[in-house]
Amino acid sequence: MPADAPRWHPFMDAVESPPGVWTMVDSEGDAYGTVRIVRIGAEVGYVGELRGQPVGRWRTLRASLEGVHHAFIASHGPRPFQGYPDFRA
């Protein structure tokens, strides 16, 4: 891909409604995550959720959308090892 070619970014899948809340939408139009702008004292930041579960906190909207999207992609892969099943029961 040439260096000046446009790249896809999670911003393209984010719909802001209501103001200050961005909903992440997958290729089928289903919502999978949200990012909310928050103020804690004098600090302004963003909180991301994937299907209602907290993913993280960021200082920029770009980083928060990327974080939620990366969590969405990771949710399609193998899960952490849960241990071997107990077949004795």
- DSSP track, 40-81: ETTEEEEEEEETTEEEEEESSHHHHHHHHHHHHHHTTSPPPP
CA distance 27 to 55: 21
Structure tokens at 60: 């920029």
* pTM: predicted TM-score of the whole model, two decimal places: 0.75
Q: Residue 40 has what pLDDT? A: 86
Q: Residue 75 has what pLDDT? A: 85
Higher pLDDT, 26 or 10: 26
Q: Which residues pair with 34 in a beta bridge?
A: 23, 49
When pLDDT is averaged across residues 24-53 and rounded to a whole number, the result is 91
